[in-house]
Chain A
Amino acid sequence: MLDQDFILQTRGLSVYYDSKIAVTDVNLNVARNRITSIIGPSGCGKSTLLRCFNRMNDLIPSARVEGQVLFDGLDLYGPDVDPTEIRYEIGMVFQRPNPFPKSIYDNVAFGPRINGFKGDMDEVVERSLVRAALWDEVKDRLKASALSLSGGQQQRLCIARALAVEPRVILMDEPCSALDPFATLAIEELMRELSEDYSIIIVTHNMQQAARVSHYTAFLMLEETRVGFLVEFGESRKIFTNPEDERTEAYITGRFG
C-alpha cells in the first residue's frame, strides 16, 4: 500500500508512565476507511497505544510519549498541534458507556456546540443518531435523560455523540465489553457500516470480534523484559488463520494469556 492509504502511522512510538515503559517502539500503519483491531493480553499497552492517537494521554500527568504519530502525514505530537483540535477529527468511544447526565439530544449536540457549529442542530442530531442505528428507538424521547437508556443504547448514543462532530477516525476501547452478546452484535454491525466512511481502530479482548469485524489486526504483547511491543501486524484473515509468529498463534488459540 502507498503511504497515502494510511490515515495514521506511528513511528518508533514509545510511552512511559513516569519511568515505567508501557508501549515500546511501535510502528503501525492504520489504513484509511478500514477497521484495525489491536489485541493482546491485559496490561500490554493497548489502551495506552490507542490513547496516543487522540492525545488523551496528555491528560495523565505522568505519561510521556516518544516517537511520532502521523495523521495524514502531520505529526500529532508536533510543536504547533492543539490537542483539542485533533480530537474533533479523531473521536473516541470508551469501554464503559459514558453519556453525560443530560438529555439524549444534548449529548449528541455537545460536540457540535463546543465546536461552534452554527447550522441546523436538529438535523445533525438526527443524522448522527441514524448513523449510530439509534434513531428509531429514541426519536420520540430526545429530551429524555440519556441515563434512561439501556447499556447498549447508551453505547450507541456515545457513538452518535462521537459521530456528531464529523471525525475522520473513531477510536474504540473495548466498546462492547460492558454489553450483552445481542448489543455487541448490533455495535459490530454498526462498525462495519461506519467503516465505509470512517477509519476505525478498536481495542478488543474478544478474538472472535477482532476476526469478525476488522480488516487488519495488530498483536501487542508483554514479556518479562519488554512491554507493549508489536509482535505481528497484518490482515486479520491472515493473523487469525495463518499467523507468522508462534506467539501470535499461541495467543489466538488461547494457549497463552
Chain B
Amino acid sequence: MSKDVVSPPLGRGTRNAWKRKFLERAIAILLFLSSFLSILITAGIVAVLLFEAITFFVDVSFLEFITGTRWTPLFSSKQFGVLALVAGTTLTAVLAMVVALPLGLLSAIYLSEYSPDGVRRLVKPILEVLAGIPTVVYGYFALLFVTPILRGISGDIAVFNALSASIVMGIMILPMVSSLSEDAMRAVPRNLREAAYALGSTKLEVSTLVVVPAALSGIMSAFILAVSRAIGETMIVTIAAGQNPSFTLNPFVPIETMTAYIVQVSQGDAPAGSIEFKTIFAVALLLFAITLIMNLLSQYVVSRFREEYE
C-alpha cells in the first residue's frame, strides 16, 4: 500500500491492523515450523537407514547385493542377492496393477461420465470405505478365500503364491485408483464436454477423446501412487505370498517381497548388530530409493503430460 493512504481517524483501526499483521506473522512461522519438522523427521529416518546400511555394505559388497539373485541371509550359507526380493516385489506389484488399472479406469469413467447421480452418490463413499479396510483383512481374504479358488482351478498353484496376493492387492488398490481418477475426470470443465457434444460426439467419444486426455495428469498420478502403494504393501504379501525369496516371475509359486522380508526379520530373533539384522536396513534403503524414484517419475510425468485447461 502506498504511504498516502489516509489512516483511520481512530486508534482502533490502527491497533487492529497491527494485531492482524502480528497474527499473520505468527501463523507463517507456525506453518514453517511444522513443515520443517516433517522434513527433519524424514531426514532422520534417511540418516538412520543410511548409517545402518553403510555398516552392512562394509561386510557385503554392494555389487553382490545389487546383482545377486539368491537371498539367504538367514541360512548358514549366506547369500545377499537382493534381486530375489526385488523380483518378488516387482511381480506382485505388476500383477496388482494389471488388476487395478483397467478396472479402476473403467469404473472411474463409468462413475464420472455415465452413472446417474444417485448411483455415484452411493458408490463413491463405498469406495472410500473400501480403501479404509485394514490390509491384514485383505491378507487373510487372499489366503483363505482366493487361494483355495485358484488352487481349485489349477493344481500347479502352491498354497502360498504371488498370484493370489496380487489379485487381492489389486482389489485393495482399485478404490484408490478409481476414486482419484474420477476426481480428476470430474474436474474437467463442463464446457469442454459441451464443445465435444456440440461437434457430434457420442458419450464414449467425449469420455475417451476429451475427458480422459484432459484428466490425464491426474489419472497418471493416481496410477503412480497406486504403484507406490503396491510396492510398499506389506501385510497381504506377508500373509499370502510366502517367505521364499526366489528370482522368478512365476506367479504360482511362493515368493518373498522386500517388505515381507523386513517383517520376517523384525519378527524373528536376529540379534541387533548381526549381519541378518543389518540386511533389513539395506533392503529398506533400496525400497525407499525405489519409492522415491517413483515419486519423482510421477512429478515428471504429471508435468510432461499436463493438458491444462484454463
Contact = CB atoms under 8 A, between A and B. Distances in A.
A96 B191 contact: yes
B205 interface: yes
A147 B195 CA distance: 15
A100 B195 contact: yes
Interface in A154-202: 158, 161-162, 165
A100 B214 contact: yes
Nearest to A85: B200
Given A102-B307, A147-B309, A84 B191 contact: no
A87 B191 CA distance: 16
B213 A102 contact: yes
Contacts of B209: 110, 114
B198 A110 contact: no
Given A98-B194, A100-B210, A114-B209, A91 B199 contact: yes
B291 interface: no
A204 interface: no
A218 B285 CA distance: 73
Interface string B180-200: 000000000101101111111
B37 to A, nearest CB: 38
Given A102-B213, A114-B205, A94 B199 contact: no
A65 to B, nearest CB: 16
A207 interface: no
A161 B199 contact: yes
Counting chain A CB atoms within 10 Å of each CB, the highest count among B116, B200, B214 belongs to B200
B287 to A, nearest CB: 36
Given A147-B308, A147-B309, A98 B195 contact: yes
A70 to B, nearest CB: 20
B295 interface: no
A73 interface: no
A101 B199 contact: no
A54 B197 CA distance: 10
B201 A84 contact: yes
Contacts of A42: none
Given A102-B213, A147-B309, A111 B194 contact: no
B267 interface: no
Contacts of A35: none
Contact of A59 (B194, B200, B210, B307): B194
A102 B213 CA distance: 9
Interface string A78-119: 000000111110011010101111100000001100110000
B200 A115 contact: yes
Contacts of B210: 100
A161 B191 CA distance: 15
A56 B194 contact: yes
A111 B198 CA distance: 9
Contacts of A56: 194, 197-198
A59 B197 contact: yes
Contacts of B201: 84, 114
A110 B209 CA distance: 9
A85 B194 CA distance: 15
A165 B201 CA distance: 12
A110 B199 CA distance: 8
B199 A87 contact: yes
Nearest to A86: B200
Contacts of B214: 100-101
A88 B200 contact: yes
A102 B201 CA distance: 16
Nearest to A164: B199
A98 B199 contact: no
B274 interface: no
Counting chain B CB atoms within 10 Å of each CB, the highest count among A88, A110, A162 belongs to A110
Contact of B200 (A61, A84, A145): A84
Contact of B198 (A91, A96, A147): A91
Interface of B: 116, 189, 191-192, 194-202, 205, 209-210, 213-214, 307-310
Please provide the 6 A-B residue pairs with the shortest distance between their CB atoms, ordered closest to farther. A101-B307, A92-B198, A87-B200, A111-B199, A98-B191, A88-B200
27 contacts: A54-B198, A56-B194, A59-B194, A61-B116, A84-B201, A84-B202, A87-B197, A87-B198, A87-B199, A94-B198, A98-B189, A98-B195, A99-B195, A100-B192, A100-B214, A101-B192, A101-B214, A101-B309, A102-B307, A110-B209, A114-B205, A145-B308, A147-B308, A147-B309, A147-B310, A161-B195, A161-B199
Given A96-B191, A98-B189, A101-B309, 17 more contacts: A54-B198, A56-B194, A84-B202, A86-B200, A87-B197, A87-B198, A88-B200, A91-B198, A94-B198, A100-B195, A100-B214, A101-B308, A102-B213, A114-B200, A114-B209, A115-B200, A147-B309
